[in-house]
Amino acid sequence: MIRPVPTVAAMEAYALADLGPPGAVSLAQNESHLPPSPAALEAGTAALAQGRLYPDPDWTELRAAIAETHGLDPAAILCGAGSMELIGAAIRSHAGPGDAVLRTAHGYPFVATAAQQAGATIQVVPEPGLTVSVDAMLDAGTRGTRLAVLCNPGNPTGTRIPNAEVVRLREALPDTVLLLVDQAYGEFDDQDHRPVFDLLARGDTMVTRSLSKAHALAGARVGWALVPPAIATSMRKLLNPNNVAAASQAMAAASMRDAGHVAHIVAETAALRDATAARLRTLGLDVPEAHANFLLIRFGDAERAARADAALRAAGLILRPAGGLPDALRATIGPPASMDRLVATLEALP
C-alpha cells in the first residue's frame, strides 16, 4: 500500500473559496474588480514571445522595480509565485516537529496549512475587538515558538494596528522568534511602512507583499518578501528554481513602475468600500472600519449570517465565510453594480 508521510496524512487540504455556480459574481477572493496596468499587459505580452526560455531565476528586473518603488535594497528581496509561496517557505524552513507557529485568531489560514506541512503546531492568539493585540501575542509565546505571524491589515477583519505596535512586538519578542509581517493589503493601509521595513536590519524579521490585490495581478501569481540574508538563504532551498513565470515577472515589474495605476486602484476601491460600508451600517449591520479591499459584515448571529449568505447566493453574489466568525461574511469590493446588489439584497432581508 502506498502511504503519504504522517504529517501529510494528518492534515486537511487548504480550503479554497467557494466561487459559486458559473455566472455568479465572486466577491470571495479579494480580487481587484479593476484591470491591471496597461503597461503590465504590454510587458507580459512581450515576454510571452520569449516563452521558449526559462524565466530569470533571480527576478532581477522585478527586484529592481520593487526596490526602486519602495526604497529598498534589491538584494534583500525574494520573489514567489504569490506571497503564499514565500509565507510557506518561511514557515517550512524555520519550524518543524515540536516547534510552534504563532498566529492570531483571524489571521491568514494558509499559515496553519504551512505549519501542518512542516509538522509544527499552531498557537492561536485571540484578537479582542477583532484587532490584533500585541500584548496577547506576547503573552502566548512559549519556549517552542519559532515563528510569529502577524497579518496587518488583517484578513478577514480588515482592521490594522499602528506600525509602532509592530515594532513594539518585535522588540519584546525573543530574537529566536522569526516575526513574519504579512502585508498583503499594505497598499490599502496609508500609514508609513518604513518603521516595519527598517526592522529587516535586525535579522529576525521579514515582511511579505502581494501583487494579487492592489496591483490586480492575482492571476499572474506574484508576491515578494523583504528578508534578512540568512533567512533568505534557507528559504531559497525550499523554493522551486524558476518559480515565477517570465510573463508574470514582466507584468509585475511593469506594474511596480506604474505607481499611478496602483494608486488609482487603491483610491477607487477605498472610496467604493467606504461608501458601501456606510450604506450597510444604515441597515443596522456592524461593519468594522476596513483598511483593505474588502469589508467584514457582521450580522449579529450565525443564523442571520447564514440567511444572508443564502439570499446573496440566490442574487448571484458569492461572499466568503469569515474564518472563526460564524456571525459574519467577508465581501470583496467588486464593481459598483455588485455593491448596489449587495446592499439591496441585505436591505430586503427579513
Ligand X SMILES: *Cc1c(COP(=O)(O)O)cnc(C)c1O
Residue 281 C-beta: closest distance to ligand X, Å? 24
Please give the Cα distance from 293 to 188 (Å, whole number). Answer: 7
For ligand X, which stretch binds (CB under 6 A), given 4-12, 57-65, 81-89, 245-253?
81-89
Q: What is the largest CA-CA distance in the chain?
A: 60
Q: Residue of minimal CB distance from ligand X?
A: 82
Q: Where are the alpha helices (DSSP H) in the chain?
A: 6-10, 38-48, 60-70, 83-94, 110-118, 134-140, 163-172, 194-197, 229-238, 246-257, 259-282, 302-314, 336-347
Q: Which of 89, 114, 184, 252: binder of ligand X (CB under 6 A)? A: 184
- Count of Cβ atoms closer than 10 Å to residue 156 Cβ: 27
For ligand X, which stretch binds (CB under 6 A), given 11-19, 79-87, 269-277, 304-312?
79-87
306 binds ligand X (CB under 6 A): no
Backbone angles phi, psi at 228, to 5 degrees: -60, 150
Cα 84 versus chain centre, distance: 8
Taking the least distance from each CB to ligand X, the nearer of 219 and 229 is 219
In angstroms, what is the C-alpha Rg of the chain?
20
For ligand X, which stretch binds (CB under 6 A), given 76-84, 132-140, 311-319, 323-331?
76-84
249 binds ligand X (CB under 6 A): no
Residue 157 C-beta: closest distance to ligand X, Å? 10
With cell 519584546, the residue in question is 172
145 binds ligand X (CB under 6 A): no
Taking the least distance from each CB to ligand X, the nearer of 69 and 345 is 69
Residue 327 C-beta: closest distance to ligand X, Å? 21
Residue numbers 12-31 binding ligand X by CB under 6 A: 30
82 binds ligand X (CB under 6 A): yes
Q: Which of 39, 64, 122, 218: binder of ligand X (CB under 6 A)? A: 218
108 binds ligand X (CB under 6 A): yes
- In the structure grid, which three cell numbers stand for residue 75, read together? 538584494
Please give the Cα distance from 79 to 69 (Å, whole number). Answer: 15
Contact at 8 Å (CB) between 74 and 290? no
Which residues sit at the interface with ligand X, rule CB under 6 A?
30, 82-84, 108, 151, 155, 182, 184, 210, 212, 218, 223
